[in-house]
Amino acid sequence: MAERHEVTQLLSQVRAGDKQASAQLVPLVYKELRKIAGAMMRRERPGHTLQPTAVVNEAFIRLLDGEQPHFENRVHFFAIAARAMRRVLVDHARRRLADKRGGEAHQQVELDENIALTAHQSEEVLGLDEALDRLERMDARQAQIVEMHYFAGNSVDEIAHVFQISERTVKRDLQTARLFLKHTLQSAD
């Protein structure tokens, strides 16, 4: 629990321009990001060859590259990091399918050679991404709650705190979102 408060405090110091806080923050968040990516990979079917370290490295580069978002606290940081990891997986899946169809020789995202998706897995990742995008257009909060819970591993009470809503509302939004995503993915098949 102390580490959670430390991350939030370090994020605040980084916002204020403290370079030393940034150096202290990296090992703390990298370890947590690695856990999140590992959890994401465990949810995949057996035999999946994605390597959590490669996903984390690419997501971390994307988080630090360009204009850095304003991280309000630890939960907000990991929600944005989860979205970055999702984008890594989606970009990789798109590239995999483009390669399968004789895609372009030049690729935008270079990932570790240990990352491999079958064509079917690539289609599933893209299907989930499209379903989440549809959900986001209909109810942005539900989409964020799904990302925070399933991709970043935030608890219901953490999410409730961030959105300043009740835990019951978070649970209801998760249930509704799950049903929507399930229906959307099934109807796409």
Q: What is the mean pLDDT of residues 17-26?
A: 81
Q: Virtual CA dihedral for 28, 31, 37, 42, nearest 10 degrees? A: -140
Q: What's residue 166's pLDDT?
A: 96
What would the 3-class secondary structure string for 51-106 be? CHHHHHHHHHHHHHCCCCCCCCCHHHHHHHHHHHHHHHHHHHHHHHHHHHCCCCCC
Q: What's residue 112's pLDDT?
A: 38
Q: What is the mean pLDDT of residues 108-112?
A: 35
Question: What's the structural domain count of the chain?
Answer: 1
Which residue range is the domain that position 25 belongs to? 2-188
Closest Cα to residue 50, out of 19, 15, 12, 90?
90
Q: Considering the entire predicted model, what is its pTM?
A: 0.63
- Return the structure tokens found at 160: 């409730």
Report the C-alpha gap between 133 and 170 in whole angstroms.
Answer: 19
Residues sharing a CB contact under 8 Å with residue 34, sequence separation 6 or more, in sequence order:
52, 53, 56
Backbone angles phi, psi at 3, to 5 degrees: -65, -35
Report the C-alpha gap between 66 and 153 in whole angstroms.
Answer: 26
Q: Which residue has the higher pLDDT, 5 or 118?
A: 5
Task: Provide the terminal-to-terminal Cα distance of the chain, rounded to the nearest Å.
Answer: 43
